[in-house]
Structure 1
Amino acid sequence: MYDVLIIGAGIIGTGIARELSKYKLKVAVLEKDTDVANETTKANSAIVHGGYDAKEGTLMAKLNVLGNKMYEELCEELSVPFKRNGSLVLAFNEEEKYHLKTLYERGITNGVSGLSIIDQEKLREIEPNVDLKAIGALHCASAGIVSPWEFAEALIDNSVENGVELFLNTEVLSIEKNEDIFTIHSSSGDFKGRYIFNCGGVHGDLIHNMIAPPSFKILPRKGEYFVLDKSQGKRVNSTVFQCPSKLGKGILVTPTVHGNLLVGPDAQDMESKYDVSTTGEKLEYIKFKGSHSIRDINFRENIRTFGGIRAESDRGDFIIEESSVKGFFDIGGIKSPGLSAAPAITLEAMKLLKNSKIELIEKENFIKPRKHKLFMNLSSEEKENKIKEDNRYGRIICRCEMITEGEIVDAIHRPVMATTVDGIKRRCRPGSGRCQGGFCGPRVQEILARELKEKMENILLDKKGSYILTGELKK
């Protein structure tokens, strides 16, 4: 019997789990995938928005601004890379310049800090490579960039350290309630609990409908992206947008916290909640639009393309509420600026729980997150000491990102173990460079098999069924 069951281990589910782990509660997180942060959280623009785009008075507007202010402290505490690089919305004509004033006024109403409308001269001072036709921009100094999957992984690691139980490969099949107790029937068996947080992302409406009458619908919206090599990472310093449309914030060009360049996404309304394919036609459109913002992007330096699904709700705002079934809380429709708002969404979710009859008693012995850095970010002296402690830190496995065997072994044995090649990639970056695992992938697979005491052919790339090997060619 659990006090709280959380369905979904994306940025919201892991954030709520970490907050709950501060209290004397029995908590479980159920995730249908092989790892946490494996859907929308791993496939988005990785931006912490300032908060000028969301309409005044919405939850999006309120929680974007509040969440943005929480990022520095949280990321410092959790050892997650974060940078306030600022953002720009470009104007190419007088009509768009007028729209910048609308965004500016909305931002001021929403409480956004660091907003200003800048002219051509100031724009080129900030971004020398911006398109010469741009005549001005809205500058938001408080916007930032983050690593969303590393954030979610750090949240769940610290949650598990503090007693939360995580069940991967656990798909929710049905939910029922008898008296005051919920029973979740899953692919891993039954789970009983007093309260449920539905953090099911693009599947949130389906989860809701298992226990309550339909009250919202999630409309999947796909976006495709280019990830360019670090040789292109300094084309921009800020996150650069074009004027937004009714489908979203448009094609952006942004550096990543790890030094790459990200271009995208487009916006495609989908029927499937699973289709994350990319197409030549859409990528050509993204390339065209991205080049309209920043001059001379060398798309031949592209190292990966990917697609992600946003959880667009038919309500047009975040859904953070108790359903018609008491004790069942929906945290849904968390599209952009969902990542930006995530820390504040977590606190709003806690308010729902506090308004119920549950007793919340803080732990006296809450374990704070351990501090860690990538080996390549250590000083020469720190590297030397690390190698003396464990010579595996002296063996480079991924030459593109300079990731050592010691870091890979550490990632495997974190509180939430990495068990797949991409799980390792998300935690410490082997395979994230120019060769995309072409050289280091087999070695990472060997290390996983050795540390997990598994056969090589049992090690997956990522999701269920994503086998890499089927057996030996010859004995």
Structure 2
Amino acid sequence: MLHTHAPSLNETFDIAVIGAGVVGCAVARRFALAGAKVIVIEKGSDILSGASKANSAILHTGFDAPPGSLELELIKAGRAEYLAIRDRLSLPLVTTGALVCAWNEAEAGKLDAILAQGRENGIAELRALSGAQARATMPGLSERLVAAIEVAGEHVIDPWSAPLAYLTQAVALGARLLREAEILASAFDGEWTLATTVGEVRAHAVVNAAGLYGDVVDERLGFAPEFEIRPRKGQFVVLDKAAFPHVPCIILPVPTEITKGVVVCPTAFGNVLVGPTAEEQQDRTRATVETSELEALLKRGAEIVPALAGMPVTAVYAGLRPATESKAYRVFSRPARRAITLGGIRSTGLSAALGLAQHAERLHAAFGAGFTAPGLAPEVTLPNLAETRERDWQRPEHGEIVCHCELVTKREIEAAFESAVPPGDFGGLRRRTRAGMGRCQGFYCNARLAEMTRGRLSTPLAADDGDEA
């Protein structure tokens, strides 16, 4: 059961997870599977309303993570668990592989070190390629390519269905989701009392997975600052589905000290993504798109894969990553106050989320409290949004096609609202169904979607929705 208001004060949870991004959803699932009574406290009106809603959707191997780092350990653990559970949760995997491409001699000179680092990190599926060999692997690459490294294990997943599945399984085990609930203050007297914008929540332990507000939440929990969120904006261009056949694998750049760089990659939804940029800013809420940067991304994409020149653009968007003063994950455990902080989880968070959840459970074990696991995990089956598997429109009796660009059926939209974790806003509905995400960006389907969602979303699509009795 989902809550829009805080539970009664006489109800105390084992674990309060702050933040319903991909990490928070994974943590909720892990503790619910262990038998804990879990509540997830989310500032937004839906899950994935912060940094997690905008990413490149790559399931990383960790080949380029810092050797011996916590990040590497958790990427590998998270990836392994995703591969182990994805069939049970009906989650897609597009087996693309990746090429780390050097476009000049200076970049080519760094490939040996990247290859050595990948092998030190325990990634065996790496292969050095000449420019000609790489173009034989992917014929559409520019003739300018000097050399490359093939990373066979890098793949593409659905970035929104994965965390939704994690939280759905947690809810099936009794977890609660509290939306539009910002943490305002707290008190600890052996148990936590969390003051939120919709009331108080009591819990034996807290896990701060607040992403872009991780440092702010730590402060409101009464902890001295140990890291500072420095938002990093990434802008993306989504190319039309006609681009998809030209990009069969992920094209990665030679990374710098600041960023992994601009990626050209296929998506699970049949498009091609170009981005992100890496721009520091102070604003934690607004991620604007800039024409000059988007034009630069389009130019860069066409330089890498010439067939992308002039390809129609389906969408542009920008997201913020919770970067900090350090490249490392900012993970802290405070056993005396039964609090865990999972901060500074940047571009590898989607891959590492399940590993971070495992790590949080290990840290919590030091608090001295155990749980009784409920037995078999409940079955969770999510609708498939990936173009590599059968979609609902291809099945009989699906009813009306509401969004013709993305072939979203009425049955899918109704199922989203009837699910254990229904959408709280239009962005949440889009992420659950792809409605309005296609070539027309909702121009043709938004009126019908407004009619279907009347009274069901925190901010209505129709201007007069709030006037209805």
User: Does structure 1 residue 337 correspond to structure 2 residue 348?
Assistant: yes
Name which of 318, 332, 337 aligns with 2:329. Answer: 318
User: Does structure 1 residue 427 correspond to structure 2 residue 432?
Assistant: yes
Name which of 152, 155, 164 aligns with 2:166. Answer: 155
User: Does structure 1 residue 201 correspond to structure 2 residue 211?
Assistant: yes
Is contact 2:129-2:149 (8 Å) kept? yes
Gaps of 5+ in 1: 388-392, 462-466
Measure how far apart 1:8 and its partner are: 0.1
Give the letter aligned to residue 445 of structure 2.
Answer: C
User: Does structure 1 residue 255 correspond to structure 2 residue 266?
Assistant: yes
1:30-49 to structure 2, matched below 5 A, reads 30-49=41-60
After superposition, what is the alpha-carbon deviation per residue over 1:248-297, rounded to whole angstroms, capped at 9, x for unaligned?
Answer: 11111000011101001110111111121011122122223222222131
Q: Who is 1:223 aligned against?
A: 234
Measure how far apart 1:380 and its partner are: 10
Give the letter aligned to residue 240 of structure 1.
Answer: I
1:20-419 to structure 2, matched below 5 A, reads 20-178=31-189, 180-210=190-220, 211-323=222-334, 326-364=337-375, 366-370=377-381, 372-373=383-384, 377-378=389-390, 383-384=395-396, 387=397, 393-419=398-424
Task: Give 3-state SS (helix, strand or coil) of 1:77's partner.
Answer: coil
Is contact 1:448-1:459 (8 Å) kept? no
The alignment's TM-score, normalised by the length of structure 2, stands at: 0.92
Equivalent residues, number: 454
Is contact 2:215-2:225 (8 Å) kept? yes
Measure how far apart 1:470 and its partner are: 4.0
Name which of 2, 6, 13 aligns with 1:2. Answer: 13
Name which of 443, 448, 469 aligns with 2:463. Answer: 469
Relative contact order, CA 8 A, sep 6+: which one is greater?
2
After superposition, what is the alpha-carbon deviation per residue over 1:46-88, rounded to whole angstroms, capped at 9, x for unaligned?
Answer: 1112212222121122222332233222322221222221111
After superposition, what is the alpha-carbon deviation per residue over 1:377-405, rounded to whole angstroms, capped at 9, x for unaligned?
Answer: 54999823xx2xxxxx2211111122111
Distance in 2 between the 1:70 and 1:320 partners? 20
Distance in 2 between the 1:113 and 1:435 partners? 43
Gaps of 5+ in 2: 1-11
User: Does structure 1 residue 437 correspond to structure 2 residue 442?
Assistant: yes
Assess, with a 3 A threshold, how the Cα gap between structure 1 residues 398 and 95 changes in structure 2: closer, same or farther.
Answer: same
Q: Which moved more, 1:414-423 or 1:343-352?
A: 414-423
Is contact 1:375-1:403 (8 Å) kept? no
The alignment's TM-score, normalised by the length of structure 1, stands at: 0.91
Q: Which moved more, 1:229-238 or 1:188-197?
A: 229-238
Measure how far apart 1:107 and its partner are: 0.6
Assess, with a 3 A threshold, how the Cα gap between structure 1 residues 318 and 440 changes in structure 2: closer, same or farther.
Answer: same
Q: Which moved more, 1:48-57 or 1:202-211?
A: 48-57
Cα-Cα RMSD = 2.2
Q: Which moved more, 1:265-274 or 1:49-58?
A: 49-58
Is contact 1:375-1:407 (8 Å) kept? no
Q: Which moved more, 1:78-87 or 1:213-222?
A: 78-87
Identity %: 28
Task: Give 3-state SS (helix, strand or coil) of 2:150's partner.
Answer: strand
Assess, with a 3 A threshold, how the Cα gap between structure 1 residues 85 and 381 changes in structure 2: closer, same or farther.
Answer: closer
Distance in 2 between the 1:108 and 1:375 partners? 31
